Amino acid sequence: MAEPTPALPDRLIAHLDMDAFYASVELLRYPELKGLPVVVGGRRAHAPQLRPDGTREFFKLADYTGRGVVTTSTYAARAFGVFSAMGLMKAALLAPQAILLPADFDAYRHYSRLFKDAVRELAPVIEDRGIDEIYIDLTDVPGARDPVGHDPLGGARALAREIKNSVWRATGLTCSIGVTPNKLLSKIGSELEKPDGLTVLTMDDLPTRIWPLPVRRINGIGPKAGAKLDSLDIHTIGDLAAAPPALLAQHFGPGYSLWLHEAALGQDDRPVVTYSEPVSISRETTFERDLHAKRDRPELSRIFTALCEQLASDLQRKGYQGRTIGIKLRFEGFRTVTRDLTLELPVQDAAAIRRAAGLCLKRVDLSQRLRLLGVRVGKLSRPGDVDSTRRSRSAANAAPNGPKPENLRLFS
């Protein structure tokens, strides 16, 4: 008799995280360091020097003095116990022979874009979670729900493998992927077989793969909650799943304790969110001919007002108000100047924006002719929010390791 095929979960969610990301990008540049303990975290002075024979001389961690910390380390360095956030001098005691390299954020951002674009071609529903990780909703990707032989998750597995290959082809970098019914489990899953891992889990795997792990592996249980759980003799996720809800409620309050309980049972119905809130909204225009603040005053003033009106209508259409008003000026010769000011209360209307932008303009020397004028509104909130500054603060609290919202500024 054929075994019953386990039902496919409602959703197939992937979490993808690049392996030793900054360090791996550095290794693309210095392939001779492959397999060696390498630590990213130095200053520019620690950049390798080219010798006359064309080889490079790298900075040894043993020679480091200072108060810097490890930003990240290769897996070879981790074998010596060197991890992110450790002091570099302490790391030098553990792995004196390790190579120290300065961070190059432009390069990391470049590779971040490349790997995300590569994934997007195969699976468009992506939630950006920072420079080296994303959630991907595979549920509606063709083939993802097809069984392969007796493996009901064969299609999902094949798709995840294809995503890994595609990231590798686009960047030369490896990543680790977890595929499960939700974001919470996928985030845990992507770590289980790092580096170059692929972990596919269903709810049936909860007792064997998830419950033995320490509670801190759950994204959302931080050091404080972790220590408190420890003190209650709750160490593993399985301990947490078995903990009496009343005990949790007594120590963590009703909301968080309920969430703890559900998380331990692997429950999470958060969607993969592809949209990120804009940081600011702006309008700018380049003049047909360069304009002078005094001689072309009426024309400039008309353009300035029109920009503020367009911006106000953008804000109203999109449902935002903002507290920071900024201007951008570009002079002949391409020198660019920005000024901004932050108001007590958020505004949304053209007159208020025009007034604040006018004050910013007063702080600029306008003796040179202008090529471009822009107006920007930042510190955005939704009208009706209790406290417009609270929105960003609570968002930051909700996602301590979350991504910086995509920078949608048209000018800065």
Distance (Å, whole) CA 104 – CA 261: 41
Task: Identify which of residues 18 and 375 has a Cβ nearer to ligand TTP in the complex.
Answer: 18
| Side chain identity, residue 395 | A
Half-sphere exposure (Cβ direction) of 20: Cα atoms closer than 13 Å: 27
Binders of ligand TTP among residues 173 to 212 (CB under 6 A) are 194-195
Question: Can residue 84 be called a binding residue for ligand TTP (CB under 6 A)?
Answer: yes
Distance (Å, whole) CA 379 – CA 369: 30
The residue from 13, 48, 71, 156 that contacts ligand TTP (CB under 6 A) is: 71
Distance (Å, whole) CA 367 – CA 369: 7
DSSP-derived letter for residue 294 is: T
Q: How far is the CB of 334 from ligand TTP (least distance, A)?
A: 33
Question: Can residue 17 be called a binding residue for Mg ion (CB under 5 A)?
Answer: yes
Q: How far is the CB of 21 from Mg ion (least distance, A)?
A: 5
CB atoms within 10 A of CB 55: 10
216 binds, among Mg ion, ligand TTP, none (CB under 5 to 8 A by kind): none
Could you tell me the sign of the dihedral formed by the alpha carbons of 60, 61, 64, 69, in that order? positive
Two tokens, residue 244: 């009496």
Binders of Mg ion among residues 116 to 135 (CB under 5 A) are 132-133
Q: Where are the alpha helices (DSSP H) in 154-244?
A: 154-171, 183-192, 223-231, 237-242
Closest to 25 in 3D by CA, of 120, 124, 122, 112: 112
Q: How far is the CB of 71 from ligand TTP (least distance, A)?
A: 4
Task: Identify which of residues 24 and 381 has a Cβ nearer to ligand TTP in the complex.
Answer: 24
Question: Can residue 20 be called a binding residue for ligand TTP (CB under 6 A)?
Answer: yes
Does 132 belong to an annotated binding site?
Answer: yes
Query: Which range, of 15-23, 56-64, 151-159, 256-264, touches ligand TTP by CB under 6 A?
Result: 15-23
7 binds, among ligand TTP, Mg ion, none (CB under 5 to 8 A by kind): none
Active-site amino acid positions? 133
Q: How far is the CB of 2 from ligand TTP (least distance, A)?
A: 40
Distance (Å, whole) CA 144 – CA 103: 38
Question: CA-CA distances (angstroms) from residue 157 to 55, 127, 144, 197?
Answer: 42, 20, 8, 12
Question: Can residue 21 be called a binding residue for Mg ion (CB under 5 A)?
Answer: yes
Does 128 belong to an annotated binding site?
Answer: no
The residue from 8, 12, 16, 18 that contacts ligand TTP (CB under 6 A) is: 18
Q: How far is the CB of 286 from Mg ion (least distance, A)?
A: 39
194 binds, among ligand TTP, Mg ion, none (CB under 5 to 8 A by kind): ligand TTP
Count residues contacting Mg ion (CB under 5 A)?
5
Binders of ligand TTP among residues 121 to 140 (CB under 6 A) are 131-132
Question: Can residue 19 be called a binding residue for ligand TTP (CB under 6 A)?
Answer: yes
| Side chain identity, residue 265 | L
Question: Can residue 18 be called a binding residue for Mg ion (CB under 5 A)?
Answer: yes
Listing DSSP states for 129-170 in one string gives -STTEEEEE-TTSTTTT--BTTBTTHHHHHHHHHHHHHHHHH
Q: How far is the CB of 106 from Mg ion (least distance, A)?
A: 18
The residue from 15, 21, 39, 379 that contacts ligand TTP (CB under 6 A) is: 21
Distance (Å, whole) CA 405 – CA 401: 12
Please identify which residue in the block is written with the tokens 């005094």.
294
**CB-CB contact of 92 with 59 (8 Å):** no
Applying CB under 6 A, the residues found at the interface with ligand TTP are: 17-22, 71-72, 84-85, 131-132, 194-195
Q: Which parts are annotated binding residues for Mg(2+)? A: 17, 132
Q: Which parts are annotated binding residues? A: 17, 132
Applying CB under 5 A, the residues found at the interface with Mg ion are: 17-18, 21, 132-133
